[in-house]
Chains A and B, each alone.
Chain A
Amino acid sequence: MKFIIAGLFFGFVAVKSEVVSWFRILEMFHFDSFHMYGIIGSAVVIGIISIQIIKRFQLKDMKGEQISIGEKEMSPKRYIIGGSLFGLGWALVGACPGPMYALVGNGYWIILVPMFFAFLGTMTYGMIREKLPH
């Protein structure tokens, strides 16, 4: 239940701030407005401060377990190739995965089409990943 509420909060903010809007994403890639950069930038600043606090004070989660944050493995190839492929799709659909769910909830049923193919894209990657450079 708590995760549904957390998601609901995120979805609401994402729509009201227009992060889910194709128009905003294309505006961002045209460098015509500070809006998206301001959102991502300030989110990261708050994220960095929060994680520093969590690490410094070795905070525990609600179950009483020590919070541990996994490090991402370094393999430049996969981040460059995979990241660029994701970017190509991001500019086409004008929405990343989270916003797509929010758009469907907002009544834009047609976004179920790119969502279904994102699901198939994920499946395809999992099936052929041994053959891809990582």
Chain B
Amino acid sequence: MLEFLQQPMPWYVAGPLIGLMVPLLLVLDNQQFGISSAYRHMCAAVLPKGKFSFFSYDWKAQKWNLLFVVGIILGGYLASLTTAEGYSVAISEQTKLALGEWGITDFSGLIPSEIFSLSFLTTPGGFIVMVLGGFLVGFGARYGGGCTSGHAISGLSNLQLPSLIAVMGFFAGGLLMTYFILPLILS
């Protein structure tokens, strides 16, 4: 059993399971699958009410979203119990070569230890990746009205044209970063 759980999940199993989140949340409580809104509810919870209209609403009515992200943390923990010794993500050789040019040599684990470390965080590159990157994810998700789950999964599942535009934006930004900006930051 553990050996089975230690295997990475193929895309044709994971994709449909993630797709099922959409009807699951609709049937459970008529809620639309979307994760980035949790940050908005956290802001609404800590900011004084009435100061900013965007954060002045009854966030407690959206409690489900906060419980959902608590569940994701627990799911991540549960998955960590099934991590095999010496685990690394089996990415393609071309990607490894491309990342190698950026000085990435450690391919163990889920994220590169050379980038996601406290010592790299204190360098300009690390600051851009973790601080600016995080900021853009939060800012852009709300500006664009959703993230990968809300637009790419939920929105496209409901055949929403706005979501298709947003997803094209995700890729425009992502490709620009990957091909033009990240090489400057990392190499």
Q: How many residues on B have C-beta within 8 angstroms of the other chain's C-beta atoms?
A: 122
Residue of A nearest to B55 (CB): A126
How would you classify the secondary structure of chain B's contact residues: helix, strand, loop or mixed? helix
**10 additional contacts (CB under 8 A) given A7-B75, A93-B137:** A2-B29, A5-B71, A6-B25, A18-B9, A22-B116, A85-B136, A101-B73, A113-B121, A115-B134, A122-B139
Report Cα–Cα, A34/B36, bound state, in Å: 25
Given contacts A82-B140, A119-B42, contact A13 B14 (CB under 8 A): yes
Instruction: State the B residues within 8 Å of A (CB).
Output: 5, 8-30, 32, 35-36, 38-40, 42-43, 47, 52, 54-55, 64-65, 67-80, 82-83, 89, 91-92, 94-95, 98-99, 107, 109-112, 115-118, 121, 128-145, 147-149, 151-163, 165-179, 181-182
Q: A13-B9, A82-B145 are in contact. Are A121 and B138 (CB under 8 A)?
A: yes
> Which of A16, A21, A90 has a CB less than 8 Å from the CB of B9?
A16
Q: Is A46 within 8 A of B16, CB to CB?
A: yes
- The SS class assigned to the A binding surface is helix
The answer to whether A84 and B95 touch (CB under 8 A), given A21-B111, A97-B141, A122-B138, is: no
